[in-house]
Amino acid sequence: MKVGCEANFALALAEAAESWQSELREQGLLSCSIFARGSGVFLYFETASECCESEWEWPTTCKQMLETWPGDGGMQRYSVPMLDIYHDGEPEIREARENGGRERIGMLARLKPSKYSSYIFYHYALQEEKPSCFNPTYIIGAYEDLIFSYQERPSPAFEHGATRRKWPAPITPENWHDIMQPHFVPWSENEQGSILWETMDTILSF
């Protein structure tokens, strides 16, 4: 968001929500959650197909308060996709749940550039060896040093899935959190230790 537009952007989004929701649903969007941290805006969409990746547009009043994101050939972009680096559940499991009454949570963290490939490697191994071991709605996306996670609480009551892929020896470490901590650039420190993930504000969901 442009400097000083955070409050006005949230207000404009709320005012346009009903008509925008109708427009997005016509394009195949099933669910939407929008989160903010400072001037950054992060979107989580669930769609019936991949069509919304290129067709959706911000409401005009909101777009006017957004900075453009640099792109090839001077193209003006108001959103950029994130790389899918981890998903705990299969898409059909996420689509089959009942959304009612669940809290939607978006969180943000930063990765050390030197640890980027290691983080992705371990998360790929985890999602293949132990699917649905945490929360079937949990997904992580990455863009440069930022990683964004989405989940719903309470976790849907699905049984843990069968191993998707097997290799000669398990890769996922038992001391998962100890292995993960050195991958992050902390946001801050407190008496309990480093703050690695920050919960974002939800500014719209449907």
What pLDDT shows up at residue 203? 94
The average confidence (pLDDT) of the chain is: 88
9 and 1 Cβ atoms separated by less than 8 Å = yes
**pLDDT surpassing 60 at residue 132:** yes
Domain ranges of the chain: 1-80, 82-200
pLDDT level of residue 91 (50, 70, 90 thresholds) = low
**pLDDT surpassing 90 at residue 16:** yes
Find the range with the poorest average confidence among 68-72, 77-81, 111-115, 197-201: 68-72
What pLDDT shows up at residue 100? 61
pLDDT level of residue 118 (50, 70, 90 thresholds) = very high
pLDDT level of residue 140 (50, 70, 90 thresholds) = very high
pLDDT level of residue 67 (50, 70, 90 thresholds) = very high
Query: For the residues of the chain, what is the DSSP string, one character each?
Result: --TT-HHHHHHHHHHHHHHHHHHHHHTTEEEEEEEEETTEEEEEEEESSSTHHHH----HHHHTTSPPBP-GGG--BS----EEEEESS-HHHHHHS--TTPEEEEEEEEB-GGGHHHHHHHHHHHHHHSTTSS-TT-EEEEETTEEEEEEEESPP--PPPPPS---SS--S-SSHHHHHGGGB--SEEETTEEE--EEPEEEEE-
Q: Find all residues with CB under 8 Å of 37, minimum gap 6, and list them.
A: 108, 198, 200, 201
106 and 32 Cβ atoms separated by less than 8 Å = no
The residues with which 131 forms a beta bridge, in sequence order, are none
**pLDDT surpassing 70 at residue 23:** yes
- C-alpha to C-alpha distance for 51 and 26, rounded to whole angstroms: 11
What pLDDT shows up at residue 200? 97
What is the rounded average pLDDT of the residues 127-151? 92
What pLDDT shows up at residue 179? 96
What pLDDT shows up at residue 9? 97
What is the rounded average pLDDT of the residues 183-202? 91
Buried (b) or exposed (e) across 166-182, using 16+ Cβ within 10 A? eeeeeebeeeeeeebee
Report the range out of 45-49, 155-159, 182-186 with the highest average pLDDT.
Answer: 182-186
- C-alpha to C-alpha distance for 79 and 53, rounded to whole angstroms: 10
**pLDDT surpassing 70 at residue 54:** no
